[in-house]
Structure 1
Amino acid sequence: MNELSSRSHSVFTLKVEASSTTAGGVTSTRVARLNLIDLAGSERQTFDPHHPSAHESIRVKEAGAINRSLSALTNVIMSLSRSRRKSSAGQRQPFVRYRDSKLTFLLRDSLGGNSKTVIVACISPSAMCFGETLSTLKFAARAKHIRCA
């Protein structure tokens, strides 16, 4: 939304392809992709009706976009963790909504494909950050239950 803002997700993708041709002339290609994602934290806005400004409205829009993508990522992770439980019980697997945000669409192969995924959850020991820390730990616990194909 705002290219000057540092309050956003960062995505770095490295894609490596290796091709080889057999003596029979058959070419095979192997592809590896490394996604490094730094998620912005959930944004809570306080609005002062006595001092509205254009800058505040931009911040509110940015915060809304960040929160929508984090919510979509949470929904995907919840669907995938439910999917694992249902497949072990022999039930039909739920539909995973990767297209709800650009972030989840970019991460679809890393979350539900043939991949290895590592999530580093940053938390704070401060009592002032208890709510955010608890939310982050719950998110990491749900993500821990995902098993890629």
Structure 2
Amino acid sequence: MLTHVHHINLLVRDLDSAISQYGALGVTEFLRGNLQGRGVKTARFRAGETWIVLIEPTDPEGVPGQYLAKHGEGLFLLSFGVDDVTAARDIVQENGSQVLNTSPRTGLEGWQVIDLDPDAFSGADLQLTEDPERSPEER
């Protein structure tokens, strides 16, 4: 069911400052984006086949904004790539675990995302992501 680590979300207080910091790792190109529905602006880069997504909350009442206020900067969540997010959701539920959203929500680049219940995974914030840009050969 899981094909790879699709992306890792890292919360930051200042996106421009974080971009400068990650330049120390040799990262020179970032793709910027906004998810107004989630109240964030983003900058992302690839590390192999995995996206690293830097997230600056713009809405303190949104989930990322509340998480940043409670936990500070750092790891926000880990997202696993799947070929079919609704089929993967069904497998998770059939195996007795819960999801936070039964219908996929749309993330960056049209990614289809299902959030898993952290209580079912030792408190880890995990999600499943189907990437419409990923070819069947890459899956």
Q: TM-score scaled by structure 2?
A: 0.25
Greater relative contact order, per chain length (Cα 8 Å cut-off, separation 6+): 2
Q: TM-score scaled by structure 1?
A: 0.24
Higher percent of residues as strand: 2
Higher percent of residues as helix: 1
For the pair shown, which has the larger CA radius of gyration, 1 or 2?
A: 1
